[in-house]
Structure formats: structure tokens, C-alpha cells
Amino acid sequence: MAHLNGENTIHHQLDRAVEQTAATGDSHLGARILANPGDARADYRLAQASGRSLEHVGTLPKLDLTGDRSLVDRMASDEDKKMFADLDAVARRAGGPRLTDSQKAQIEMMSPGEKQMYRFAIDELQKLADNKISPADFMADNLRKAASLAEENGRAPGSWNIFKPTAQELYVQYISQTFCDHSLGLAKDVARGLAGSPVNNAGIAIEENYAALIKNRADQGFNPNVADTDKSNSITHHYREVLMVAFNSGILAADKATLYLDKPDVNPGDVRNGYFAAMIGSGLYHQKLTPTEAANLTIWAYTQHGGTQPPWGTTNEKSNFVQTSDYYLNPWLRAYRGRTN
């Protein structure tokens, strides 16, 4: 998949998938989870599809303080200013985009946990620019950090405090702000939001600079089974989009979106990436996975290592693991928990 740039009818496909998911209800096929998004989740998607997404694509006025461009910086804390400077320094080295005033304003309004996650991602970009880590290390390190922060800041299991987000919700939010693909234009960005993967304006700056740094080596350090056919397309942005669709709209919608955007005989790596991310997102929503389990299972499956290999092995064969029936959560968990090293 080349940055979700399907035909203009994508939003119709995703809407139908969401409707099919809602009609299915909560059920299990083998160990595969099918989720009903429900009215509350639909309201969430509608809310997330507005605001920052519309501002980013120009429907709402973009914060651009041309009369006094230092105002956003003056309002920022020293910690925020350091993040702005460090990310802009990475952008200069990578040839990527520098932060806009709108992105800076969003960063300033982040919660402490979100700022910790953003700061960590910038530090990882610096390491990547220095060739201290690989593209796969960048993804793995950020997944681990997201899990750690989510479990530290999320609602304790069994707590009745419904106003505090669960660790699973925070984990998905931290992933959202770290691996967000660039704007695709108003219609497609609204479709993304309605499907369950709204644009995160500040997150775009992280992903776009990551993509600039890994040009022609996006598959470095990854298991070949999740590699895109285009070696400049990141694995992270596809994982993020489908993970969020599964978490917010259900696994059926995520699987439909995956197959619509990519075909197994053309780009099997992206199809596997999408189906796996859908499995993880659904498992998180149903609290079958903790954030740490979700992160570690993904790292084990996605990265090259010398230990016990994941079910799809280490050879990228077009016909291998390109069916939804290959992505029942329980068999993957058994394989992961039963590994010997």
C-alpha cells in the first residue's frame, strides 16, 4: 500500500464494512474476534474526524500566526520548545517537513503522557538519523514505550473510574500520534476518521520525518513477511491505520479495508501487516491483550531475530498467510508464549 492512496470510493467501502460489522454483533469464529462498534464508538469516530483533520487539509483556518510567528513559541514551555527545536533539526537532516504552528499548538495541548510519548519518538528519530538504530528498531522501541506509558497512566483493571481511559485506549492513542500517515485530502481524511483512524496532525510530523529517513530502506530489520513492495513505504503507518480501524470500528471493517487497499498477489506484505494489525486492534478492544502483550507480540512477529520464529516464518511467499483465517488471535498467542528463546 502506498500511503492509503486508493480510489475516491474508499469511504464507501469502509462505510459498508462498518455497517457489516455492526450487523454482525459480538461473536467468535474459532478464536477470531468480531466487534460491534456500537453507537458510542460511532460517535467517537465522528468527533475524531473533525477538528484537527479538517484544519490540516484546509477546511478550517490553519493556525498560522504570520503577524507574530513567535507567539506559539512564546506560549510554549521550555520542554515544548526543546521538542520543537529537536524535531526541526531532524527535519533539516532528513529533508522532511518542519513543524507548523498548528502542530506546535497541538503539542502544547497534549497531556503529560502524550508529551512523554512524543518526546521519546523524537529521540528515536535522532538515533535513526545517526544510524544508531534501524527502521525496525524505531517501530519496536516506540511500541514498547507506548505500552509502558499506557499501563502506567491507564485505568487499573477492575476500576469503576469510567472517566479514566483504559490502558488499551491509551496505547492506541500513543500509536496514533507516532505513526500517523500524511493528509490525503479532505474526503479521504474524513473517510479515515469515520472508519476509525482519524488524522493526528502533530503525529504526521513524526511519521513524515521517519519516512524521509528510511527512504529506500524501509524494510531494514523487519521480517520479510511484512515488507512493502516499495522499499520507501513505511510499515508503521499501515500498522497504525488498520490497528485503529479494528479498535474503533471492529475487525471486519479493518479486514475489508486491508483487502480493498492491497491485494495478496500484488503486495502480500501489506496484506499481512493489515490483517495482523486488525487482529491486535481487536484483541486490545476486547481486552484479550494488555498493551505490553500487544507490543511484544508485534515485535516478535515483525522484526528479524534469531529466536523461535513467528507462524509465518522468515520467507516472503505470496500465498503464505494472506487469508483472514490465518489471523486467529489464540494460535498466535500460543505460538508466542510457547517460544523457547
Instruction: In whole angstroms, give the CA distance from residue 294 to residue 230.
Output: 26
Q: Report which secondary-structure segment, H or E, holds 223.
A: none
C-alpha span between 146 and 143 (Å, rounded): 5
Q: What is the spatial distance between Cα 123 and Cα 126, in angstroms, rounded to a whole number?
A: 5
Q: What pLDDT sits at residue 70?
A: 62
Distance of alpha carbon 20 from alpha carbon 250, whole angstroms: 10
By CB atoms closer than 10 A (0-12, 13-18, 19+), residue 158 is: exposed
Instruction: Give domain limits for the chain.
Output: 10-63+134-204+214-337
**What integer pLDDT is reported at residue 23 of this predicted model?**
40
Which pLDDT value is given to residue 7? 37
How far apart are the C-alpha atoms of 234 and 212, rounded to whole Å?
A: 10
Residues of the chain with pLDDT under 70: 1-70
Given its phi and psi angles, is residue 2 left (phi above 0), alpha (psi -120 to 50 degrees) or beta?
Answer: beta
Dihedral-angle region of residue 165 (phi above 0 means left; psi in -120 to 50 means alpha; beta otherwise): beta
pTM comes to: 0.82
**Cβ atoms 190, 14 nearer than 8 A:** no
| pLDDT confidence of residue 205 | 98
Q: Residue 40's pLDDT is what? A: 41
